[in-house]
Amino acid sequence: MTGLARKTMLFGVCGLLAAATALANVPDPAHSTLPKYIKVVGTNSGGVDAAGTFSIVVRDFANNPVSNSRVELNFSACCDLRLCTVVVAGQTLKQCQPPIVSAISDPTGTVTFTVIGAAVDPGTCVPPNITPGPGAGCITMTASGFPMGTATAVDLDLNGAFAAANNGHNGGDLPVLIQNIGAQGSGANYRGRGDYSGDGAVNGLDISFYIPLLGRSASGIGSGSGCPGNAYCAKPSTCPATGPCKNP
């Protein structure tokens, strides 16, 4: 091997090492653990509803955990959802406008969230019309400022942010879910807020997932207290519609 060839190879190796070093600790969605669906829950006398607790694990391209990474969940596109300003241990409501929840990853790259809020769905639309809202993936996730993907917001309290009297997950939310199921079964577009089964559709199957959650709230361990004091952020945006109902 000539001296020139050795130098060329050396420069190539150095370049690869430099590239690897530059990518170390850079969050990589392909190697990270990310949710596809996030349940937005409420509170109870003991604190927040654990049914909504989930974790994200941030890793780099070499599958190493990335610690001290600020993970942000941006709900700007979730136009049928209002976040609650209640403080949840270990996370921060960074701001209400746009609505962003954040937390810092631990040495294992893990960050844990429980998002508190409710949907703005009065359940008064007659199928096939449906209350406006986003489909899949309205939550944007980032880590250290790097895009990590999207997740669908699923709301336990479907009408809690529509009127103060509706605050809290209870039997009044079931008719709203049934209205959503009827509308989407009649051809209305998918609304992620009612997808409790996490299968990309809102239909009768979701009732079987919803009833146990309703039972938890009735027993005092779920989201029956909703957002304390109705302290909701303002709606992040107006869902595209010409009126209170929309088809599709």
The per-residue pLDDT for range 161-214, each reduced to its tens digit, is 999 999 999 999 999 999 999 999 999 999 999 999 999 999 999 999 999 999
Q: What is the mean pLDDT of residues 138-147?
A: 98
* pTM, rounded to two decimals: 0.89
- The residue with tokens 């809290």 is 168
d(CA 181, CA 128): 10
d(CA 174, CA 180): 10
The residue type found at 248 is P
- pLDDT the model gives residue 12: 47
- pLDDT the model gives residue 248: 55
pLDDT band at 11 (very low <50, low <70, confident <90, very high): very low
- The residue with tokens 């241990």 is 89
The per-residue pLDDT for range 84-103, each reduced to its tens digit, is 999 899 999 988 989 999 99
The per-residue pLDDT for range 17-42, each reduced to its tens digit, is 444 444 578 999 999 999 999 999 99
DSSP codes joined into one string, 217-248? HHTTSSSTTBSGGG-BPPPSSPPS-SSS-B--
